[in-house]
């Protein structure tokens, strides 16, 4: 993953401090530095806990600050960033830590001789064979001043098939000149800096246009995989695309969202097998999911408020809330419409939902039907299935819950408010009732 940091100032504000230790008869050396930089520092890193490797510097770009310090080397393991321990970090956690650095960057690194030969590009930019012996940091030659000749081995490639591109979560810059591009599998990330904001906007738009041009093939492949899984039925894919999710920790993460007729499936990378497709990171049934807001709203989180939307899903454990942002008003409008329509489609498709409950200490079953309304059935063992209460949606004046297990339904009249104990968080049923009502209103043409 390429990463970039910029801070005011010139040169290196702190000298590199290192110590070399060599065992008798051993060529292995362990090096440790604390390097304080106040200049543009750029290099590429790899590894991570998920790869059973430390975070490693895989490339140092010629002429930039990381190269000029002469204290960082290909194969160095990054142990910490500004005091934050990265020794057991995942690749994504390391990228987030590097992106959150302020004006001063302090890196603690350890030279890993045993892994350095497995990086194709050396610190000097020349090609290194897989069987070439690693070079010691002591053998590194100082950088020569002036522009360096372009080397074809430094050319990087990334497939744009379902790639993620964003200008909203890139390194802090007085001018928004950066764009971030992530491969569909999440294994590679580029940070690019344009000459100015207009250039960054133009490049991001051009790259996104090419990604969109490949979308029909991606959708066709995923549709075939979805039909083959058999777990979600032969559902049509209504919408697919990358969203930027705000994490509880304050960071962000690319999230691939796949919207079917009944569910919103969320993945950390593009699923390319039936097994991967059948194991999303999170699943939100549309009938129990509400679009809380789209765009700026009173009290909303300021994070990308103009192009964000929030979703709340009712579960047996409580409410699952997620905040997402997109790159353009067109994307926001498309996702908003698809999510609202998807909720209505799911309600029309399901028609009826039932759950066990207790009313006045009596075991019951509550059925909610989009057309027939509310029916409360007796559910004692061995007893006949008797109707205890039946009310249409039109009689419902208010519904509420205590957030724990109680659902309150007020039908007015002599019956008044009834209290049902659902034995788990009632939010799922509350959200389903809301979906049924919204779908019924839409039928009447009262909601665009």
Cβ atoms of 5 and 98 closer than 8 Å: yes
pLDDT, tens only, 218-262? 999 999 888 887 654 557 899 999 999 998 888 889 999 999 999
pLDDT at 301: 44
Alpha helix (H) residue ranges in 28-105: 65-68, 91-99
pLDDT band at 151 (very low <50, low <70, confident <90, very high): low
**DSSP bridge partners of 353:** 368
pLDDT band at 335 (very low <50, low <70, confident <90, very high): very high
Cβ atoms of 415 and 389 closer than 8 Å: yes
Domain boundaries, the chain: 1-141, 215-350, 352-443
- Is residue 85 pLDDT above 50, yes or no? yes
pLDDT band at 383 (very low <50, low <70, confident <90, very high): low
What are the phi and psi torsion angles at 34 (to 5°)? -120, 110
**Under CATH, which architecture does the 215-350 domain have?**
Roll (2.30)
pLDDT at 413: 77
What share of the chain in percent tops pLDDT 70? 73
- Bridge-based pairing of strands 318-325 and 308-315 is antiparallel
Cα angle, residue 413 at apex, residues 410 and 417 outer, rounded to 5°? 25
Matching CATH topology for 215-350 and 352-443?
yes
Mean residue pLDDT of the chain comes to 77
Would the CA dihedral through 298, 301, 305, 307 be positive or negative? negative
Q: 352-443, what's its fold?
A: PH-domain like (2.30.29)
pLDDT at 426: 94
What share of the chain in percent tops pLDDT 90? 43
Tally Cβ neighbours within 10 Å of residue 340: 18
- What is the rounded radius of gyration, in angstroms, for the C-alpha atoms of the chain? 28
Would the CA dihedral through 194, 195, 200, 203 be positive or negative? negative
Cα angle, residue 200 at apex, residues 199 and 201 outer, rounded to 5°? 90
pTM, entire model: 0.64
| Mean pLDDT value across residues 319-330 | 93
- The token duo for 432 is 């389903």
Ordered strands of the 373-378 beta sheet = 387-391, 373-378, 362-369, 352-359, 417-421, 406-410, 398-401
pLDDT, tens only, 256-304? 999 999 999 999 999 999 999 999 999 999 999 999 887 765 444 444 5
CATH of 1-141, one of 3.40.50.10490, 1.10.1740.10, 2.30.42.10, 3.40.50.300: 2.30.42.10
Would the CA dihedral through 265, 271, 272, 273 be positive or negative? negative
Of 443, 442, 437, 435, the closest CA to residue 288 belongs to: 435
What are the phi and psi torsion angles at 260 (to 5°)? -105, -170
pLDDT at 349: 92
- Is residue 67 pLDDT above 50, yes or no? yes
Cβ atoms of 268 and 162 closer than 8 Å: no
User: Which segment of 154-163, 254-263, 327-336, 433-442 scores lowest on mean pLDDT?
Assistant: 154-163
pLDDT at 14: 31
| Mean pLDDT value across residues 32-42 | 37
Please measure the distance between the N-terminal and C-terminal CA atoms of the chain and give it in whole angstroms.
Answer: 44
| Contacts for 334 with CB less than 8 Å, ≥ 6 apart | 239
Does residue 119 or residue 414 have the better pLDDT? 414
pLDDT at 140: 42
- Is residue 133 pLDDT above 50, yes or no? no
Cβ atoms of 100 and 125 closer than 8 Å: no
| Mean pLDDT value across residues 325-352 | 94
């Amino acid at each position: 993953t390429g990463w970039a940091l910029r801070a005011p100032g010139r040169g290196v504000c702190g000298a590199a401090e290192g110590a070399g230790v060599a065992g008798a008869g051993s060529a292995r050396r362990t090096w440790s530095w604390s390097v304080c930089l106040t200049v543009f520092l750029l290099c590429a890193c790899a590894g991570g806990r998920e790869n059973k490797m430390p975070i490693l510097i895989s490339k140092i770009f010629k002429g930039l600050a990381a190269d000029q310090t002469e204290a960082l080397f290909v194969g160095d393991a990054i142990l910490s960033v500004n005091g934050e321990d990265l020794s057991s970090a995942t690749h994504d956690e390391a990228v987030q830590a590097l992106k959150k650095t302020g004006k001063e960057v302090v890196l603690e690194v350890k030279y890993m001789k045993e892994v350095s030969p497995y990086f194709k590009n050396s610190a000097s930019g020349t090609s290194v064979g897989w069987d070439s012996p690693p070079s010691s940091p002591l053998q590194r030659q100082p950088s020569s001043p002036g522009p360096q000749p372009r080397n074809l081995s430094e050319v990087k490639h990334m497939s744009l098939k379902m790639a993620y591109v964003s200008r909203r979560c890139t390194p802090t810059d007085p001018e928004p000149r950066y764009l971030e591009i992530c491969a569909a599998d999440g294994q590679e990330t580029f940070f690019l800096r344009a000459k100015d904001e207009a250039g960054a906007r133009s490049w991001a738009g051009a790259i996104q246009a090419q990604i969109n041009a490949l979308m029909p093939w991606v959708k066709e492949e995923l549709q075939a995989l979805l039909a083959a899984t058999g777990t979600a039925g032969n559902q049509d894919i209504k919408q697919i695309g990358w969203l930027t999710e705000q994490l509880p920790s304050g960071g962000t993460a690319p999230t691939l969202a796949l919207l079917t007729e009944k569910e919103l499936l969320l993945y950390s990378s593009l699923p390319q097998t039936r097994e991967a497709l059948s194991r999303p990171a999170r699943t939100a049934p549309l009938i129990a999911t509400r679009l809380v807001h789209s765009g700026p709203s009173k009290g909303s989180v300021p994070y990308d408020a103009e192009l964000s939307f929030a979703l709340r899903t009712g579960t047996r454990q409580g409410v699952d809330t997620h905040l997402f942002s997109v790159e353009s008003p067109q994307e926001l409008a498309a996702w908003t419409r698809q999510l609202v329509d998807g909720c209505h489609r799911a309600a029309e498709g399901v028609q009826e939902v039932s759950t066990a409950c207790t009313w006045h200490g009596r075991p019951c079953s509550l059925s909610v039907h989009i057309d027939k309304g509310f029916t409360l059935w007796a559910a004692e063992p061995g007893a006949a299935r008797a109707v205890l209460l039946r009310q249409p949606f039109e009689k419902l004046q208010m519904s509420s819950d205590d957030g724990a297990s109680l659902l309150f339904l007020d039908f007015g009249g002599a019956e008044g408010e009834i209290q049902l104990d659902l034995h788990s968080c009632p939010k799922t049923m509350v959200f389903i009732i809301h979906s049924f009502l919204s779908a019924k209103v839409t039928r009447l043409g009262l909601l665009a």
